[in-house]
Amino acid sequence: MSDEQQTFYYLSVALAIGLLIGAERGWQERNAEEGKRVAGFRTHGLVGLLGGASALLADSLGPLFLGLVFLGLTALATTAYAETLRQDNDAGITSLIAMLLTFVYGALAAIGEVSVAAASAVVTTLILSAKPILHGWLNALGGQELRATIKLLLMSVVILPILPNQGYGPWQALNPYAIWWMVVLIAGLSFVGYFAVRIAGMRRGMILTGLFGGLASSTALTLHFARLSRHAESSAPLLSMGILLACGTMFPRMLLVASLLNPALFKLLLVPTGAMALCVFGPAAWFWRSTASVAANVTSPLKNPLEIKTALVFGLLLGLIMFFGKALNHWFGEAGILALAAASGVTDVDAITLSLARMSGNDLALSVAAMGVVIAASVNSLAKGCMAAVIGGSAIRLRVGLPLLGSAALGLLTAWLWIWRA
């Protein structure tokens, strides 16, 4: 297009960005009296256009011109904000920041960064419109969750980059950077589940509780609900559904984790993990009657997964499994790896899944790694079925035990047909 057409295009985008943000701001203040709205639909549209026009003029007048216009707009907006504060005692500066961002996005569009400006404007509008949701989340959280978020950032942004990215020890089995990166990955996924249950609450429905609880720790939720069923047999079908949903969530989680480390594992694991998940989710759907609340005294069994002690213990476990995985593969070949997978699956599937996925990228066959993951998942399902049957008693023995037993058997069968014989 010609220079003139390109100029009109950039200014049109700048105007559209301002109108988008202005529409949201105007809607939020739609009940305010005429003349008391500091900036709405039209004002933000003009501010976006001002940013675009100023950026274009800065090409010939120099970048100082753009800075002076921005300072002038800031002074004008701040004066209007101070007057509003004097009249209404509303100390929020969201609208002020939104106006300044509109100018910046308009300027970005005018210098050719149209995609960045448009995407930023959409995200800004989304954040502005999500005020009730975001405030609701903050009100649901306590100091513990805030500290946990900071710890996740500490683990991923501060500690991870300074760790050496090379192997140590026999067979170069221990890579500090790789081990800690996998710790951060699992901690992040677990925190998503913990965070979701903390916000939604245990009384918001067993479906969400089971799914998100399984994302954090299916074992903890299984034990907790099994104990509850012994004292509340009338709730056994509902509690069984929650256990099965949590256990079923483990399979897509494993598929995701393994595929992130080695995408080639996705195809091999998709059928076995999908079959195992369906075998568990099917009975859960059968037990589903409604999303009615469980008893009011039900509390979350999930603990903060971002405690430094928890992360260090998991990192140690992961390091040990990676070391023994290399050792057993060196000494006994494939049989040693599969035996390690079965032993590890009794208590945890994350560590062995991560270890096998990483090893499959180097000196371990994909089929062996995938088979090991399925074996670990099958053993873990059997272990949780036994725990639920023993702790929960007859109320959930068949409801939980049979689906998990069937899932383990079906997983091994499909893995043998899909992976081992392929």
Q: How many CA atoms lie less than 13 Å away from 296 in the CB half-sphere?
A: 0
CB 26 within 8 A of CB 40: yes
- Give the phi and the psi of residue 62 in degrees, each rounded to 5: 100, 155
Q: How open is the CA angle 414-421-404, to the nearest 5 degrees?
A: 20
- CB crowding 144-173: b at 16 or more within 10 Å, else e: ebeebeebbeebbeebbeeeeeebeeeeeb
Q: What type of residue sits at position 334?
A: E
CB 220 within 8 A of CB 347: no
Q: Distance between CA atoms of 142 and 384, rounded to whole angstroms?
A: 31
Q: Distance between CA atoms of 264 and 48, rounded to whole angstroms?
A: 46
- Give the phi and the psi of residue 291 in degrees, each rounded to 5: -95, 30
Q: What type of residue sits at position 206?
A: M
CB 26 within 8 A of CB 41: yes
Task: Give the Cβ contact number of residue 236 at 10 Å.
Answer: 23
Hey, what are 237's tokens?
């079908």
Q: Distance between CA atoms of 323 and 297, rounded to whole angstroms?
A: 44
Q: What type of residue sits at position 340?
A: L
Q: Distance between CA atoms of 218 and 245, rounded to whole angstroms?
A: 9
Q: How open is the CA angle 313-315-320, to the nearest 5 degrees?
A: 95
Cα distances from 354 to residues 297, 319, 325, in angstroms, run 36, 10, 11
Hey, what are 363's tokens?
């000196």
pLDDT, position 294: 45
Q: What contacts 320, CB < 8 A, 6 or more positions away? A: none
Task: Give the Cβ contact number of residue 289 at 10 Å.
Answer: 10
Torsion sign across C-alpha atoms 407, 413, 415, 417: negative
Hey, what are 138's tokens?
């903050």
Q: Distance between CA atoms of 407 and 373, rounded to whole angstroms?
A: 14
pLDDT, tens digit only, all 422 positions of the chain: 667 778 888 888 888 888 888 887 777 665 555 555 556 677 888 888 888 888 888 888 888 888 888 888 888 878 877 766 666 655 557 777 888 888 888 888 888 888 888 888 888 888 877 776 666 666 655 666 667 667 667 776 777 777 776 666 665 556 677 667 667 766 666 666 566 666 655 445 566 667 776 776 777 777 777 777 776 666 677 778 888 888 888 899 889 888 888 888 898 999 999 999 999 988 888 877 544 444 444 555 555 555 566 666 666 766 666 666 666 655 666 777 788 788 877 777 877 888 888 888 777 788 888 888 899 899 888 888 888 888 777 777 788 888 999 999 998 899 888 886 65
- CB crowding 6-31: b at 16 or more within 10 Å, else e: eeeebbebbbbbbbbbbbbbbebbee
pLDDT, position 293: 44
Q: What contacts 182, CB < 8 A, 6 or more positions away? A: 261, 318, 354, 358
Distance of alpha carbon 378 from the chain centroid: 25
- Tracing tokens 């404007």 back to the chain, one arrives at 121
R_g of the chain computed on alpha carbons: 28
